Copies of this chain bind each other. A is one copy, B any other.
Amino acid sequence: MNTTPAFRALGDPTRRAILDLLAEEERPVGALVDRFAMSQPALSQHLRVLRDAGLVTPRKDGRRRLYRVQGAPLEGVHDWVGRYERFWSARLDALGAYLDDERSR
């Protein structure tokens, strides 16, 4: 699985905020437009990036498109970041320091 489009999509704070809103519930584009200080096309473009990254999917409902989160690509992101857990866990940081110390002996 290629996580690059997902990582790139998450690089923009507006897109993360969109995901946060869609995580609460499925929403039409208009509901998102109401929440951001930018034009409707700008939102549609962000949604396209998210769609292309597989992070959201639209569902037709009359003339509206209801977007929902499609989380699968986030698992790869989560896993990648998770491999760094020892770099922020205090206990394992201590272990890291110990190993560094050992190595320099």
Known: A7-B10, A8-B11, A10-B11. A23 touches B71 (CB 8 A): no
Q: Closest chain B residue to A26 by CB distance?
A: B100
How many copies of this chain sit in the oligomeric assembly?
Answer: 2
Give the residue of B4, B13, B87, B100 whose beta carbon is less than 8 angstroms from that of A13.
B4
**Chain A contact residue count (CB 8 A cutoff):** 28
Q: Is the CB of B71 within 8 A of A77?
A: no
Chain B residues with CB under 8 Å of A86's CB are 71
Q: Quick one: which of A55-105 are within 8 Å of B by CB? A: 69-72, 74-75, 77-78, 80-88, 100
Which residues of A are at the interface with B, using a C-beta cutoff of 8 A? Answer: 4, 7-8, 10-11, 13, 16, 19, 23, 26, 69-72, 74-75, 77-78, 80-88, 100
Q: Which 4 A-B pairs have the closest CB atoms?
A: A71-B87, A11-B11, A75-B88, A71-B88
